[in-house]
């Protein structure tokens, strides 16, 4: 589902170019769930953005859901996100002037689906917000907002679900509800999950853990498991 | 499909309401309102000129004769060749009351058929013929109420005009054929045409205009009728006007004022455009998260640009609608004032075209100024969502931006230029506005660069103030552009106004005569000379014979065959004063050729205005043909003279050699300079001794002229202040946009130990520096604009007057300080805790 080979990312800054990613090789299979761990500034979020096509890698090869990013325009990558990638943010990022229903319908509308609103309503029902369809984000609690964002990310049944600390802004109990939902819905949709977290317990719920530091992958449970199996 | 989708998202965006768009709406509405108002009001004026053309002209065609009455055969022909006609005569005269008070008046003698169109409204209401008729051996007069005040008499009392007494039977409420003239020498007096002979004012050579207004024969065009008229009387020398030239002076005036005011309105719109740009940028800034979210969800940059472009269009439509509503209502609101001033029936339905034009220009302006922030939104990176801070990398703007900006700008310029009759002036104005706009943008960059480069001052107040001018997100560019354009217009208008009133009111009177005496007859001149010479206090006197004549050919070519430059076309438009002189008059210098010898008796020669000669490319020896009393006389050019009309001396375009005009019936025109103490006594003596002579007091005429200039200046200043107002709105918006940041800065600085006085001082100093810099640049650009307009367009001398410039500087300083600090006091009072917790 994700094929990264020798991916580097260097961004200009006032103090000179900064190497954010320094040669990432990563392969993630379909329906796999991967937790991305590491200290602040290790490059987790940048890696997620590169995978989402929101940030262009400086060098290296990237393919997501069978689409090679090389030579793809910004709009082509936007279409890829629309059709195959769902994203959940720590800060939810719902559009404040749209109702919950409209927020969830956006990706379907962008894809030109006639049944956008029916499917969006069903998706909100699935996260337990069937009674909140016409509420604006400002009228929803934090947990409800994140459940809405989850419904929005999964409503197109994306091949790949990216999540950046999805419970970082929620209290423990609410966070757990959201995580339960996230895993069950991703499993139901057959989505591959790439999840950034600082929470070791949450990371353990993923089948595979990848640890980053200083722009490199320093540990990968999958390869160590393979190494163990081989050895 | 894509557009429908964009519109669906736009509608959801608009749920956020108009908060944050107040400046956008106000700036756009104001600019559109200014343009639309100028358009609809001037269209209303022009339409009513057209509608009232018959009343203004007094008939379907008008013949005007100067200096002679209509001959019997001419009247007979006109009576036979019209459905009806009316004859009037107009001149200047002195009206004297029994108490010895006197006043120069505009006398108009009318026949019983007058007016053919419209109604003469008198108070108390009486028929015109009844009020003026001879009753019990006494003729009546109707006068403007102003005259009664000046003479200290009431309706029912008598006035004397020339040798004839009149009972004032009514005051004039409305004279249907009176067109707004730039200025008049005195109040109107209406008398019956039958009574004119008794006044003795229509003597030979007197300055009398005679008009015959006719209704053309059924089904005959003016051109056909005129052809027959010209065949019957080829040499009559009258001027014929049709309905298309009912009030050419007024029409020209309205068109000129419209040109100027709509261009100033356009400037206001451009200033408003800066507000549009700021508003759109601020809004898009506040929608960064939404835009980025949409992009994460798969929206293309193009779709994002379309969503927000539609939003801008929707909001612009509201702003434009407000402006157009004002423009549509304006004719009704100003109708009572303008109807009075122009003697027209105003207040028709608002014209559609000016509204459409103003709307279109508003839309183009909104688009023009919204393109750049929209292009940025299209390129906004969605990656910022993950980082929670601003994306500082510069994005390459999309390729459509500059073609779209250039197309909108060109279309706007085209509309501004193509819809005006004086395209050169309009083009010059548009070019100038663009240059000024660019100059201020450059100046803003300069100010920021300078603030950055100045060595860091040791005083904290100064250091913070300078830093505020150049750091990221500073309002410097917005303030400099929005305030700068307005102040430039203000400075230019103030300078033009001050220069003109200085020339009219201060420079001229020092050399000008106290009185003009007109209509002196040949047999009166000796007595007149003796009387004035003997009068105490007279320091200078001058008298010349005067005839009227029209230039009918130059080197044998009629004016229609000549290419006449506009600056001298007035010389050909109507009769000109002519004179003759044996000796070279005092104060006259020649710029070419020689004066004829005192005993010259050869073929006719003429000394010509140098400007006319240059404009037509004439040289010594070329010939000019003038029609005087129906007779064409041709003279060769013997010399050229520079003429300073502003000196108010007796001046003539043409001075002829002796032998040609002495025989023609001429009147004399005289000037006298007399000290103030003896002026009234001299006026009384001259007008008592010669009842047919009119005295024009130069000071009165000039103060009338000054009043006219003042009212024009007030109108121009009023329009100019619309630009300033637009600038203030934009300025307020720009300052308010920075308030959040200032508040945060203030909190952080307070946490670090800064006192409130230090913060206030640094902010005040920053705004003061900005205001002064902007005003200084505006003063320079305004002076250049004023110099160009005065010297090139108005052909007046330009002097750099410090007064208006100091005012500009003071206004710039005051306004930036006021607006800047108003938004700052709140920032200083902000509590630290909530802000810090949120961050």
DSSP states of B356-412: HHHHHHHHHHHHHHHHHHHHHHHH--TTHHHHTS---SPPPPPTTHHHHHHHHHHHH
Q: Which residues of A touch B (CB under 8 A)?
A: 11-12, 45, 48-49, 52, 54-55, 74-75, 78-83, 87, 89, 91, 93-98, 102, 106-107, 109-112, 152, 164
Which of A83, A93, A134 is the best substitution to test chain B (most B C-beta atoms within 10 A)? A93
Q: Among residues A18, A110, A17, A23, which one has the least CA distance to residue A59?
A: A23
Contact criterion met (CB below 8 Å) for B766 and B758? no
- Please name the residue of chain B whose CA is at the shortest distance from the CA of residue A95: B290
B209-215 vs B576-580, strand pairing mode: unpaired
Compare CB distances from A75 to B292, B302, B386 and report the shortest one's residue. B302
Phi-psi region of A23 (alpha: psi -120 to 50; beta: other; left: phi over 0): left
Tally of CB atoms within 10 A around B18 = 12
Has the ipTM of the complex gone over 0.95? Answer: no
Give pLDDT, residue B111.
Answer: 92
Compare CB distances from B382 to A54, A96, A112 and report the shortest one's residue. A54
pLDDT digits (tens, 9 = 90+) for B673-689: 888 888 888 988 998 88
Contacts of A15 in chain B (CB under 8 A): none
SS3 content of chain A, % helix, strand, coil (to 5): 40, 25, 35
CA distance B759 to B750: 9
Q: Do A78 and B295 touch (CB under 8 A)?
A: yes
Q: Please determine, for residue B54, whether its predicted confidence score (pLDDT) is greater than 70.
A: yes
Compare CB distances from A49 to B15, B303, B383 and report the shortest one's residue. B383
Give pLDDT, residue B193.
Answer: 92
CA distance B318 to B309: 14
CA distance B81 to B60: 13
Q: Do A93 and B296 touch (CB under 8 A)?
A: yes
Q: Cβ contacts of residue B423 below 8 Å, gap of 6+?
A: B417
pLDDT digits (tens, 9 = 90+) for B169-225: 999 988 888 765 555 778 899 999 999 989 888 776 677 889 999 999 998 889 999
Q: CB burial class (10 A; 0-12, 13-18, 19+) of residue B559?
A: middle
Compare CB distances from A93 to B301, B385, B387 and report the shortest one's residue. B385
Q: Do B15 and A110 touch (CB under 8 A)?
A: no
Compare CB distances from B386 to A48, A106, A107 and report the shortest one's residue. A48
Compare CB distances from B301 to A45, A49, A75 and report the shortest one's residue. A75
Closest CA of chain A from B312, distance in Å: 16
SS3 content of chain B, % helix, strand, coil (to 5): 55, 15, 25
Contacts of B292 in chain A (CB under 8 A): 93
pLDDT digits (tens, 9 = 90+) for B526-543: 999 999 999 998 888 888
Q: Do A97 and B12 touch (CB under 8 A)?
A: yes
The DSSP letter of residue B69 is P
Give pLDDT, residue B423.
Answer: 83
Q: Give the end-to-end CA distance of chain B in Å, rounded to a whole number.
A: 41
Average pLDDT of chain B is 83
Distances from the Cα of B728 to the Cα of A61, A137, B68, B275, B324, angstroms: 54, 37, 60, 10, 21
CA distance B190 to B804: 44
The DSSP letter of residue B586 is T
CA distance B244 to B223: 12
Q: Do A55 and B293 touch (CB under 8 A)?
A: no
Q: What is the 3-state secondary structure (H, E, C) of B673-709?
A: EECHHHHHHHHHHHHHHCCCCEEEEHHHHHHHHHHHH
Closest CA of chain B from A227, distance in Å: 34
Q: Do A94 and B293 touch (CB under 8 A)?
A: yes
Closest CA of chain A from B737, distance in Å: 21
Q: In this structure, what is the dihedral angle of CA atoms A177, A181, A187, A192, given to the nearest 10 degrees? A: -90
| Stronger pLDDT, B190 or B744, i.e. the higher one | B190
Contacts of A152 in chain B (CB under 8 A): 297
Q: Among residues B395, B682, B731, which one has the least CA distance to residue B531?
A: B682
Q: Do B15 and A97 touch (CB under 8 A)?
A: yes
Closest CA of chain A from B18, distance in Å: 13
Contacts of A102 in chain B (CB under 8 A): 12
Contacts of A49 in chain B (CB under 8 A): 383, 386
Tally of CB atoms within 10 A around B19 = 8
Residues in chain B: 839
CA distance A179 to A150: 10
pLDDT digits (tens, 9 = 90+) for B542-584: 888 888 787 888 898 887 788 877 777 777 766 778 888 888 8
Tokens of B141: 């007069």
Q: Do B289 and A93 touch (CB under 8 A)?
A: yes
Least confident of A57-61, B14-18, B512-516, B583-587: B14-18
Give pLDDT, residue B529.
Answer: 92
Give pLDDT, residue A207.
Answer: 92
Average pLDDT on B106-124 reads: 89
pLDDT digits (tens, 9 = 90+) for A32-65: 999 999 998 899 988 998 998 888 899 999 999 9
Q: Do A55 and B295 touch (CB under 8 A)?
A: no
Q: Where do the DSSP E strands lie in chain A?
A: 2-11, 18-28, 33-37, 59-64, 67-68, 85-88, 160-164, 192-196, 208-213, 216-220
B576-580 vs B592-593, strand pairing mode: unpaired
Contacts of B393 in chain A (CB under 8 A): 11-12
| Stronger pLDDT, B741 or B817, i.e. the higher one | B817
The DSSP letter of residue B190 is E
Least confident of A65-79, B262-276, B469-483, B564-578: B564-578
DSSP states of A193-230: EEEE-S-HHHHHHSSEEEEEETTEEEEEHHHHHHHHHH
Tokens of B203: 């003597």
Closest CA of chain B from A207, distance in Å: 25
- Please name the residue of chain A whose CA is at the shortest distance from the CA of residue B380: A54
pLDDT digits (tens, 9 = 90+) for A79-109: 888 889 998 888 888 888 888 998 898 888 8
Contact criterion met (CB below 8 Å) for B468 and B762? yes
Q: Which of B42-46, B493-497, B621-625 has the highest mean pLDDT?
A: B621-625
Closest CA of chain B from A93, distance in Å: 6
Give pLDDT, residue A228.
Answer: 65
Tokens of B274: 């800066």
- Please name the residue of chain A whose CA is at the shortest distance from the CA of residue B15: A97
- Please name the residue of chain A whose CA is at the shortest distance from the CA of residue B383: A54
Which of A12, A43, A54, A159 is the best substitution to test chain B (most B C-beta atoms within 10 A)? A54
Pairs across A and B, CB distance < 8 A? 79
What percent of chain B clears pLDDT 90, i.e. is strictly above it?
17
Distances from the Cα of B502 to the Cα of B536, B697, B802, angstroms: 31, 20, 13
Tally of CB atoms within 10 A around B336 = 11
Q: Do A82 and B386 touch (CB under 8 A)?
A: no
Compare CB distances from B296 to A54, A74, A112 and report the shortest one's residue. A54
CA distance B243 to B250: 14
CA distance B513 to B672: 6
Compare CB distances from A107 to B12, B297, B386 and report the shortest one's residue. B297
Q: Do B1 and A112 touch (CB under 8 A)?
A: yes
Distances from the Cα of B668 to the Cα of A52, B650, B717, angstroms: 97, 11, 42
Q: Do A94 and B299 touch (CB under 8 A)?
A: no
Q: Please determine, for residue B393, whether its predicted confidence score (pLDDT) is greater than 70.
A: no
- Chain centroid to Cα B222, Å, comes to 32
Closest CA of chain A from B300, distance in Å: 5
Give pLDDT, residue B351.
Answer: 85
Q: Among residues B320, B426, B389, B412, which one has the least CA distance to residue B27?
A: B320
Q: Is the previous residue joined to B368 through a cis bond, with omega within 30 degrees of 0?
A: no
Q: Do B300 and A78 touch (CB under 8 A)?
A: yes
- Please name the residue of chain B whose CA is at the shortest distance from the CA of residue A98: B12
Closest CA of chain B from A20, distance in Å: 14
A67-68 vs A59-64, strand pairing mode: antiparallel
Contacts of B1 in chain A (CB under 8 A): 112
Contacts of A11 in chain B (CB under 8 A): 393
- Chain centroid to Cα A191, Å, comes to 11
Tally of CB atoms within 10 A around B644 = 10
Tokens of B334: 């100003």
- Please name the residue of chain B whose CA is at the shortest distance from the CA of residue A153: B297
Strand partners of residue B158: B167
Closest CA of chain A from B287, distance in Å: 9
């Amino acid at each position: 589902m994700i094929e990264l080979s020798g991916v580097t990312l260097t961004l200009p800054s006032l103090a000179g170019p900064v190497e954010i990613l320094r040669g990432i090789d990563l392969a993630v299979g379909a329906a796999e769930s991967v937790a991305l761990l590491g200290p602040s500034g290790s490059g987790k979020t940048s890696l997620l953005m590169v995978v989402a096509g929101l940030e262009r890698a400086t060098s290296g090869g990237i393919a997501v859901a069978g689409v090679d990013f090389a030579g793809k325009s910004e709009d082509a990558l936007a279409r890829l996100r629309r059709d195959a990638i769902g994203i959940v943010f720590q800060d939810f990022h719902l559009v404040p002037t749209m109702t919950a229903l409209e927020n969830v319908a956006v990706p379907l509308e962008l894809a030109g689906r006639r049944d956008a609103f029916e499917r969006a309503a069903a998706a909100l029902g699935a996260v337990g917000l069937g009674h909140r369809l016409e509420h604006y984000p400002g009228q929803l609690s934090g947990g409800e907002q994140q459940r809405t964002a989850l419904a929005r990310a999964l409503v197109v049944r994306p091949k790949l679900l990216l999540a950046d600390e999805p419970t970082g802004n929620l209290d423990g109990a609410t966070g757990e509800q959201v995580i339960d939902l996230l895993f069950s819905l991703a499993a139901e949709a057959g989505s591959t999950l790439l999840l950034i977290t600082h929470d070791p317990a949450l990371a353990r719920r993923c089948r595979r853990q990848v640890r980053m530091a200083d722009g490199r992958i320093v540990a990968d449970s999958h390869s160590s498991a393979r190494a163990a199996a081989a050895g | 499909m894509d557009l429908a989708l964009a519109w669906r998202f736009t509608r959801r965006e608009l749920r956020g309401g108009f908060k944050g768009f107040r400046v956008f709406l106000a700036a756009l509405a104001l600019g559109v309102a200014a343009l639309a108002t100028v358009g609809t009001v001037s269209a209303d004026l022009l339409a009513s000129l057209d509608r009232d053309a018959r009343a203004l002209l007094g008939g379907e065609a008008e013949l005007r004769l100067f200096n002679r009455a209509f001959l019997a055969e001419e009247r007979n022909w006109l009576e036979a060749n019209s459905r009806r006609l009316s004859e009037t005569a107009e001149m200047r005269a002195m009206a004297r009351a029994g108490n010895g008070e006197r006043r120069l008046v505009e006398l108009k003698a009318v026949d019983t058929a007058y007016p053919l169109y419209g109604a003469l409204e008198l108070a108390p209401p009486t028929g015109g013929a009844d009020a003026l008729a001879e009753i019990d051996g006494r003729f009546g007069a109707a006068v403007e109420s102003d005259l009664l005040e000046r003479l200290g008499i009431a309706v029912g009392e008598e006035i004397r005009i020339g040798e004839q007494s009149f009972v004032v039977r009514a005051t004039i409420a409305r004279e249907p054929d009176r067109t707004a003239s730039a200025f008049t020498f005195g109040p109107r007096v209406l008398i019956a045409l039958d009574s004119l002979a008794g006044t003795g004012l229509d003597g030979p050579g007197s300055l009398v205009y005679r008009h015959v207004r006719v209704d053309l024969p059924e089904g005959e065009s003016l051109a056909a009728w005129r052809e027959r008229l010209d065949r019957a009387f080829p040499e009559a020398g009258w001027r014929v006007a049709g309905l298309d030239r009912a009030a050419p002076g007024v029409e020209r005036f309205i068109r000129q004022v419209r040109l100027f005011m709509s261009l100033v309105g356009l400037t206001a719109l451009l200033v408003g455009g800066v507000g549009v740009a700021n508003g759109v940028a601020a809004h898009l800034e506040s929608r960064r998260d939404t835009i980025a979210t949409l992009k994460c969800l798969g929206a293309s940059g193009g779709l994002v640009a379309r969503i927000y472009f539609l939003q801008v269009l929707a909001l612009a439509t509201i702003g434009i609608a407000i402006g157009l509503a004002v423009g549509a209502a304006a004719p009704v609101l100003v109708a009572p004032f303008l109807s009075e001033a122009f003697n027209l029936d105003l207040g028709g339905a608002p014209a559609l075209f000016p509204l459409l034009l103003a709307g279109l220009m508003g839309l183009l302006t909104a688009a023009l100024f919204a393109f750049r922030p929209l292009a940025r939104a299209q390129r906004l990176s969605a990656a910022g969502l993950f980082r929670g801070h601003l994306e500082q990398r510069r994005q390459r703007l999309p390729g459509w931006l500059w073609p779209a900006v250039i197309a909108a700008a060109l279309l706007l310029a085209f509309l501004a230029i193509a819809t005006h009759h004086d395209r050169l002036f309009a083009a010059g104005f548009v070019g100038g506005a663009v240059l000024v706009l660019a100059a201020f943008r450059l100046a803003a960059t300069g100010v920021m660069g300078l603030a950055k480069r100045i060595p860091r001052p040791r005083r904290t107040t100064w250091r913070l103030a300078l830093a505020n001018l150049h750091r990221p997100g500073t309002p410097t560019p917005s303030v400099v552009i929005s305030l700068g354009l307005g102040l430039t217009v203000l400075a230019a208008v103030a300078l033009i106004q001050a220069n003109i009133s200085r020339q009219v009111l201060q420079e001229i009177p020092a050399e000008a005569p106290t009185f003009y005496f007109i209509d002196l007859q040949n047999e009166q001149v000796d007595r007149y000379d003796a009387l004035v010479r003997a009068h105490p206090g007279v320091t200078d006197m001058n008298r010349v014979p005067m005839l009227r004549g029209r230039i009918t050919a130059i080197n044998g070519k009629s004016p229609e065959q000549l290419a006449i430059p506009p600056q001298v076309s007035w010389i050909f438009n109507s009769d000109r004063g002519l004179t003759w002189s044996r000796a070279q008059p005092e104060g006259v210098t020649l710029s070419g050729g020689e004066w004829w010898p005192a005993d010259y008796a050869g073929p006719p020669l003429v000394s010509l205005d140098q400007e006319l000669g240059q404009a037509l490319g004439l040289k010594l020896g070329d010939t000019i043909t003038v029609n005087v009393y129906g007779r064409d006389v041709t003279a060769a050019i013997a010399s050229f003279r520079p003429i300073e009309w502003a000196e108010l001396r007796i001046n003539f375009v043409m001075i002829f050699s002796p032998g040609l005009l002495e025989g023609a019936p001429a009147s004399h025109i005289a000037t006298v300079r007399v000290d103030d103490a003896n002026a009234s006594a001299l006026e009384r003596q001259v007008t008592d001794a010669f009842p047919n002579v009119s005295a024009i007091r130069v000071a009165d005429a000039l103060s009338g002229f000054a009043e006219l200039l003042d009212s024009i200046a007030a109108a121009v200043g009023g329009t100019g202040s619309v630009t300033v107002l637009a600038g203030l709105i934009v300025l307020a918006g720009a300052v308010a946009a920075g308030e959040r940041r200032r508040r945060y800065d203030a909190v952080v600085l307070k946490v670090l130990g800064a006192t409130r006085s230090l913060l206030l001082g640094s902010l005040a100093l920053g705004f003061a520096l900005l205001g002064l810099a902007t005003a200084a640049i505006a003063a320079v650009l305004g002076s250049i604009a004023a110099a160009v307009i005065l010297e090139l367009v108005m052909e007046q001398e330009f002097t750099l007057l410090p007064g208006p410039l100091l005012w500009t500087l003071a206004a710039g300083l005051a306004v930036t300080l006021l607006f800047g600090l108003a938004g700052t006091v709140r920032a200083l009072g902000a509590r630290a805790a909530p802000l810090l917790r949120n961050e």
